[in-house]
A and B are shown apart, each in its own frame.
Chain A
Amino acid sequence: MYPSPILTLTLGVLITGVAAAELRNLAASTWAYLVHSLFLAGTFAAFAIVTDSPQLYWWVLAAVLTKVIFIPLLLRWYIIRHPATELRPTLGLRLSLVILSLLLIVFFKLVHTHMNFIAPTEAASLEPARSNLAVAFTVFAMGLYVLVTRRDAVKNVIGLCLLENGAHLSLVVLAPTLPGTLFIGLVTNVTLFVWVLIYVTSGIYQLLGSPDTFRLSELRR
């Protein structure tokens, strides 16, 4: 029998990640990202309790401070100064949802089935770690999908955050003994990158009148 809280939290990470990727209203997408990060921090906390690893509480604290508070605040800072609706992406909502769902299902199944190929350790082969790791790779793939298909610069920032969250989620299964300071270093870097990207995107909006990444080459003319 699976310890259901961890799997529930992991499922929450996945569903809210899809919402953050697909919601066209940037404010709503930011809220979805915030909840997604809360689920992520909750997953860390659940692992801390289940595996009795006190250093994971530092991860929880770092994740809450950076992913739940700072990054959404930075996104919010941008959204209240600029149009809150995402630029029309290359794919329509329905088609995008279908493609993303297929991608996620295939990716999850692939990673879950071939876990021994990726991480041939006992810890990774047992549930709930196995599913958690499969979700981590799936969230990573979701981040890549957003980066490839979205033209709105801020949505791309959210995609980048999803990408990083996927990598960070994998840490809790594959490298739970990492010191808290290292995890703090990892998430601090991401927060600073988001700050730089939001700052630069604001500048692009001022000069181009749009956060359209497909039109960035116009800045060179």
Chain B
Amino acid sequence: MVQSSLPVMLIGVPLAAAGVVFTLGRWTRLCREGAAVGGALLTLYLAVLAVGQVLSGASLNCCQMALNLDGLSALLVVLVTLVTAIVIFYSLHYMYHQLRKGLTTEARLVTYYGLLMVFLAAMMWVCTTNSLIWMYVALEATTLATALLVCFFWTRASLEAAYKYDMLVVAGVCFALFGTVLLYSAAAQYAPGRPALLLTELGQIIPKIPPSVSLLAVAFFVVGFGTKAGLVPFHAWLPDAHAEAPAPISALLSGLVIKVGAYALARTITIFAPHYNAVIVFVAIMASASMLIGIFMAWAQDDLKRLLAFHSVSQIGYVIEGLGFGTYLGIYGGLFHLVNHTLFKSLLFLSVGAVMYATGGLRRISQLKGLGKRMPITAACFFIGAIAMGGLPPLNGFWSKLTLFMAGSELHLWWAVVIAVLVSILTLGCMVHAGYKIFWGHPTTALVTNPGLKEVPVAIWLSMAVLAILCIVIGVYPQIIHPLLHRGTECILAVYRAGAIP
């Protein structure tokens, strides 16, 4: 363990950037977009520094272990900062275009970039806090930061989405508070004098807690954090919020926000799972239901963003299932799919945003046809994301799904493996079908006569290209991410085994 100010700086830098955006953002674009870009890049730089130190074997902590950056935190921190930076770059042109179209104002853009920075700070807080209860508070802060971004355009549908998002997520996550409090109460006698339940001490405490409390806490965590993760049947908020938010925010919601729920589950139920076989089966059932319902609902969608949203419900099932297995392979696969899903789902949402940008807001599959010739880069990015999500080699989704199938086989949960394979095939079919309808063939008359129908500006497709390249690189050379995934997995297992930080 190394004392370091990096965890504090990871939270402080985006918060300071948010302060600059909110106070000075009205006057110049430099203070608005500039501060957001600068804040995101500086946070990304700090995250890379932190990853370097963590990979060398250190665990960075400060404030008397209140903040702790271990392998799992480092994985999330670098992923969150990278995707947020990419989304902010994408937003620069995309949101300016919305401004020129009169869909927003300069003042509202201040709110947009300011809230993005607050969101980044809240995400950093979730990933670095070492206290279970503070993690709950930080998790709620991420919902708060994104709540107003969902209804940013203040359209009818976006208001409905924002109301449902707020109401359902807050009510659902409240269950996690009960779970946390029950655990805290039961653990207090084994960790006297501790101001708050530390995540790094859970492993030592859980075996001493009565099974009734443990199982009740697990149930509350699954409901609470499962709501945030969009797990069936707590997913009602997800399709609307993801579909109605501006495209860059949809990418963040699907790519990062639901992962916070998965991260919280990784920090909690994964520690319980090896002690209780029932937890493994319970989580596998929930995850399989999420996969199946998500994919069936996705097939029924005509709205591209809703289709992707339901795929998120389905794909988060893979992540949760792997984490719930509680074995090295399961946790490794779950974390690997968490990373991959963040990359390809952000890519897909940004690609759909590009389609909407070029077609004047069209997002129904039935309205779109033959866009591939006019938008070759967007088409390529969409197909890379689609095939990665379908789990075909040589893209990143293949490896994480293969790892999860192996993890399920290792535990002889054959029914779960069969469902996972079946859903993967259906996912591939659904995405290729959607991509074929949008990008193949000849454009409809309405699209041909649209003068704006051309490839999106480089400022937009560059962000998509970076994500697409990452999907390919991790697919072709998965070893590149192995050290971080291994450290993350070992962190969870170490907490379970001895309560010690590796």
Measured between C-beta atoms, what is the minimum distance from A145 to chain B in Å? 12
**By the criterion CB–CB under 8 Å, are B185 and A178 in contact?**
no
Task: State whether A220 and B137 are in contact (beta carbons under 8 Å apart), knowing that A124-B185, A197-B166 are contacts in the complex.
Answer: no
Measured between C-beta atoms, what is the minimum distance from B413 to chain A in Å? 29
**By the criterion CB–CB under 8 Å, are A164 and B196 in contact?**
no
State whether the Cβ of B164 lies closer than 8 Å to any Cβ in chain A. Answer: yes
From B137, B167, B184, B196, A174 is in contact (CB under 8 Å) with B184
> Which residues of B sit under 8 angstroms from A105, Cβ to Cβ?
none
Interface segment, one of B149-157, B247-255, B450-458, B464-472: B149-157
Instruction: Encode B120-159 as 1/0 by CB contact (under 8 A) with A.
Output: 0000000000010110110011011001100100101101
**By the criterion CB–CB under 8 Å, are B144 and A153 in contact?**
no
Q: Which residue of B lies closest to A144 (CB)?
A: B171
Task: State whether A203 and B170 are in contact (beta carbons under 8 Å apart), knowing that A197-B163, A217-B160, A220-B160 are contacts in the complex.
Answer: no
Within 8 A of A (CB), among B176-233: 177-178, 181-182, 184-186, 188-189, 195-196, 210, 212-213, 216
Measured between C-beta atoms, what is the minimum distance from A215 to chain B in Å? 10
From A160, A170, A173, B171 is in contact (CB under 8 Å) with A160
> Which residues of A sit under 8 angstroms from B171, Cβ to Cβ?
143-144, 147, 160, 163
**By the criterion CB–CB under 8 Å, are A193 and B177 in contact?**
no
> Which residues of B sit under 8 angstroms from A156, Cβ to Cβ?
167
Measured between C-beta atoms, what is the minimum distance from B379 to chain A in Å? 28
State whether the Cβ of A131 lies closer than 8 Å to any Cβ in chain B. Answer: no
From B144, B186, B195, B210, A192 is in contact (CB under 8 Å) with B144
**By the criterion CB–CB under 8 Å, are A120 and B186 in contact?**
yes
State whether the Cβ of A126 lies closer than 8 Å to any Cβ in chain B. Answer: no
> Which residues of B sit under 8 angstroms from A197, Cβ to Cβ?
163, 166-167
Q: Which residue of B lies closest to A175 (CB)?
A: B184
State whether the Cβ of A149 lies closer than 8 Å to any Cβ in chain B. Answer: no
> Given A178-B196, A182-B134, A182-B137, list of 16 further CB < 8 A pairs?
A117-B216, A119-B182, A147-B171, A163-B174, A167-B174, A175-B181, A177-B188, A178-B133, A179-B195, A179-B196, A182-B131, A193-B140, A204-B159, A213-B163, A216-B160, A219-B156
Q: Which residue of A lies closest to B163 (CB)?
A: A200
**By the criterion CB–CB under 8 Å, are B213 and A170 in contact?**
no
State whether the Cβ of A44 lies closer than 8 Å to any Cβ in chain B. Answer: no
- Name 10 interchain pairs, CB-CB below 8 A, sorted by A: A117-B213, A118-B182, A144-B171, A163-B171, A164-B174, A167-B181, A175-B133, A175-B184, A182-B137, A216-B160
> Which residues of B sit under 8 angstroms from A118, Cβ to Cβ?
182, 212-213, 216
**By the criterion CB–CB under 8 Å, are A182 and B216 in contact?**
no
Measured between C-beta atoms, what is the minimum distance from A176 to chain B in Å? 9
Measured between C-beta atoms, what is the minimum distance from B361 to chain A in Å? 15
**By the criterion CB–CB under 8 Å, are A186 and B137 in contact?**
yes
Measured between C-beta atoms, what is the minimum distance from A33 to chain B in Å? 17
* Interface size class of chain B, counting residues whose CB lies under 8 Å from the partner chain: 35 or more
**By the criterion CB–CB under 8 Å, are B156 and A207 in contact?**
yes
**By the criterion CB–CB under 8 Å, are B156 and A220 in contact?**
yes
**By the criterion CB–CB under 8 Å, are B163 and A170 in contact?**
no
Q: Which residues of B contact A (CB under 8 A)?
A: 131, 133-134, 136-137, 140-141, 143-144, 147-148, 151, 154, 156-157, 159-160, 162-164, 166-167, 170-171, 174, 177-178, 181-182, 184-186, 188-189, 195-196, 210, 212-213, 216
A167–B144 Cα distance when bound, in Å, is 19
* Interface size class of chain A, counting residues whose CB lies under 8 Å from the partner chain: 35 or more
**By the criterion CB–CB under 8 Å, are A182 and B196 in contact?**
yes
Q: Which residue of B lies closest to A55 (CB)?
A: B195
State whether the Cβ of A201 lies closer than 8 Å to any Cβ in chain B. Answer: yes
Number of interchain pairs (Cβ within 8 Å): 119
**By the criterion CB–CB under 8 Å, are B189 and A121 in contact?**
yes
A220–B188 Cα distance when bound, in Å, is 49
> Which residues of A sit under 8 angstroms from B216, Cβ to Cβ?
117-118
A219–B161 Cα distance when bound, in Å, is 10
A221–B163 Cα distance when bound, in Å, is 17
> Which residues of A sit under 8 angstroms from B147, Cβ to Cβ?
193, 196, 200
> Which residues of A sit under 8 angstroms from B188, Cβ to Cβ?
121, 175, 177
**By the criterion CB–CB under 8 Å, are A160 and B162 in contact?**
no
Instruction: Encode A152-177 as 1/0 by CB contact (under 8 A) with B.
Output: 01001000100110010011011101
> Which residues of A sit under 8 angstroms from B137, Cβ to Cβ?
182, 185-186, 189
**By the criterion CB–CB under 8 Å, are A167 and B178 in contact?**
yes
State whether the Cβ of A47 lies closer than 8 Å to any Cβ in chain B. Answer: no
> Which residues of B sit under 8 angstroms from A140, Cβ to Cβ?
174, 178
**By the criterion CB–CB under 8 Å, are B163 and A216 in contact?**
yes
Closest CB pairs A-B (n = 5): A174-B185, A219-B156, A219-B160, A185-B137, A189-B140
Q: Which residue of B lies closest to A215 (CB)?
A: B160
A51–B38 Cα distance when bound, in Å, is 50
Q: Which residue of A lies closest to B176 (CB)?
A: A167
Task: State whether A193 and B170 are in contact (beta carbons under 8 Å apart), knowing that A182-B134, A186-B137, A203-B159 are contacts in the complex.
Answer: yes
Within 8 A of B (CB), among A100-147: 117-121, 123-124, 140, 143-144, 147
**By the criterion CB–CB under 8 Å, are B196 and A120 in contact?**
no
Q: Quick one: which of A164, A177, A219 has the most chain B CB within 10 A?
A: A219
Measured between C-beta atoms, what is the minimum distance from A220 to chain B in Å? 5
Measured between C-beta atoms, what is the minimum distance from B130 to chain A in Å? 13
**By the criterion CB–CB under 8 Å, are B160 and A196 in contact?**
no
**By the criterion CB–CB under 8 Å, are B156 and A153 in contact?**
no
A99–B174 Cα distance when bound, in Å, is 23
Q: Quick one: which of A153, A171, A200, A219 has the most chain B CB within 10 A?
A: A200
Q: Which residue of A lies closest to B157 (CB)?
A: A220
**By the criterion CB–CB under 8 Å, are A170 and B196 in contact?**
no
> Which residues of A sit under 8 angstroms from B166, Cβ to Cβ?
193, 196-197, 200
> Which residues of A sit under 8 angstroms from B154, Cβ to Cβ?
203
A118–B217 Cα distance when bound, in Å, is 9
**By the criterion CB–CB under 8 Å, are A207 and B195 in contact?**
no
Q: Quick one: which of A147, A179, A204, A220 has the most chain B CB within 10 A?
A: A220
**By the criterion CB–CB under 8 Å, are B141 and A189 in contact?**
yes
> Which residues of B sit under 8 angstroms from A178, Cβ to Cβ?
133, 184, 195-196
> Which residues of B sit under 8 angstroms from A217, Cβ to Cβ?
160
Task: State whether A204 and B185 are in contact (beta carbons under 8 Å apart), knowing that A120-B210, A182-B134, A219-B156 are contacts in the complex.
Answer: no
Q: Which residue of B lies closest to A122 (CB)?
A: B189
A121–B208 Cα distance when bound, in Å, is 13
